[in-house]
Amino acid sequence: MDRILGSMIDDYTLYKIVEGMMIILSMILIYLGIQIALAWKFIQKKTARSDSILSEKDSFFRSSIFIFIAGFFILIHELFEGLEKDAPDFVTYEIFELIAISGFVLFLNEWNKIFKKMKNDQQDK
């Protein structure tokens, strides 16, 4: 990252900023995971049909894109990490990880919206 941001910020500070953002996103992941687990627990599964979950094509499409983004950037992260002498610096690795975690957060957020909508629909009936 020296070539891009070298004149504005040093690598160590940028690394710490990215690490801080990853910690915040990890906490959001835990929160969304708990919310999804609780929503799943309180949804009446006999009245909720699986086709009602998957019939939301836009949401399913967005979820697929988010998982693709997360998987792609984890793959890129691992491939670059395997290149010892031609590898970019450690900040680049962390940025790829940050993008991957962002994809997971967006995916869980999408499913949280679906479950909240299902829960509200069941309470309205």
pLDDT tens track for 75-102: 988 887 776 666 567 787 888 889 999 9
**Count of domains observed in the chain:** 1
Domain with 8, as residue range(s), is 2-124
**Residue recorded with tokens 């792609």:** 72
pLDDT value, residue 84: 64
Residue 15 confidence (pLDDT) = 86
pLDDT value at residue 55:
63
Do the Cβ atoms of 107 and 66 come closer than 8 Å? yes
